[in-house]
Amino acid sequence: MDLTRNQRTIAASAVVEGVGYWSGRDVRVEFRPAPAGTGIVFVRGDLPDCPRIPATIQYCVEIPRRTVLQRGPASVEMVEHIMASLAGLQIDNCEVWVNQPEMPGCDGSSQPFVEALYAAGAVEQGALRGRRVVRYPIRLGSDESWIEARPCASGKMILHYELDYGSGSPIGRQSLEISLSPRHFHLNLAPSRTFLLESEAAAIQAQGLGQRATVKDLLVFGSRGLIDNRLRFPDECVRHKMVDMVGDLALAGCDLAGRFVAYRSGHRLNATLVRAIAAQADTHCGLKHCA
């Protein structure tokens, strides 16, 4: 089955505004159409000369609890929900102009970005989209948390996530497997929101961070369950972990074909897998790269 496709960009510009969860600053994001071969590029419009940061694994730096890209002194952080929205809708070329280093948290999900991109529309471009096919297994991590990529007979991108906070936690254990497609992402993943434990939220705010975020802006779980909010899906937490996974794997800069399985994986392990995939492709060990 030939699953190659043409690259796509948005048909018109789109704007999303909100507040950065960590910094508490007001943020404006403008998605702009881009020519074939551009990829996803963040542009810091608030800095001199408007530095450009390609959204590829080469520029990913490790910061706890979020995905950060840095090129020279310029950086952008909390990019995972934007990256997931673009990848989930198969938008391959786009300039993301921002006026702050941190992306807006909005409601903690990818939904506001997806809605803006849908309203802008998409157009097919003349060039083919790059694609990497997993030929041999890659597994990274430990018994406590791991992620792996395996061949997939269908040639599609299959994602499986195992979330495990233990039987005594209000979050508990959840699992989900999907075959990624724009429709499935839009309806079943994009609305799922960021979550954390009440103890984690208290520790973050004790550091002077997240001062404008409340339990209405994301999911906070106390000892008795969700605090002053309602779930959009019974398994919303694992769905959100899969959104993060989609956004982080998009740093490969091409379509990925394989079965990707994660157990308690986070941004660091997700990014490490993308680096391993890129390294295998460069050495022609186990992956086929179609330009």
Per-residue pLDDT tens over the stretch 2-27: 678 999 999 999 999 999 988 889 99
**CATH architecture entry for 6-290:** 2-Layer Sandwich (3.30)
**Residue of 81, 186, 240, 267 marked active site:** 267
Domain range list for the chain: 6-290
Asked whether the beta carbons of 11 and 65 are under 8 A apart, the reply is no
Distance between start and end Cα atoms, the chain: 17
Mean pLDDT, residues 136-145? 95
| Residues 162-169, mean pLDDT to the nearest whole number | 91
- In this prediction, residues 43-62 reach a mean pLDDT of 97
Query: What is the pLDDT, as a whole number, of residue 1?
Result: 56
Say what the pLDDT of residue 285 is: 36
What mean pLDDT value characterizes the chain? 92
Is 267 annotated in the active site? Answer: yes
Dump pLDDT digits (tens) for 196-213. Answer: 999 988 888 888 777 788
Q: What is the mean pLDDT of residues 137-148?
A: 96
Which residue has better confidence, 223 or 74? 74
Q: What is the pLDDT of residue 284?
A: 40
User: Which pairing describes strands 60-63 and 255-263: parallel, antiparallel, or unpaired?
Assistant: unpaired
51 versus 23: the higher-pLDDT residue is 51
Please choose, from the candidates 277, 253, 283, the residue with its C-alpha nearest in 3D space to the C-alpha of residue 69: 253
Query: Does residue 51 surpass a pLDDT of 90?
Result: yes
pLDDT at 272: 97
pLDDT at 108 over 50: yes
Taking residues 22-35, report their average pLDDT. Answer: 95
Give yes or no for a contact between 215 and 191, defined as CB atoms under 8 angstroms apart. no
Q: Which of 152, 167, 174, 166 is nearest to 242 (CA)?
A: 174
Half-sphere exposure of 262 (CA within 13 A, CB side): 28
Q: What average pLDDT does the segment 107-136 reach?
A: 96
Is the pLDDT reported for residue 261 higher than 90?
A: yes
The residue among 23 and 175 whose pLDDT is bigger is 175
Which whole number is the average pLDDT over 179-197? 95
pLDDT at residue 286, rounded to an integer: 38
Confidence of residue 291 (pLDDT cuts 50, 70, 90): very low
- Range with the lowest mean pLDDT among 7-21, 62-76, 213-227? 213-227
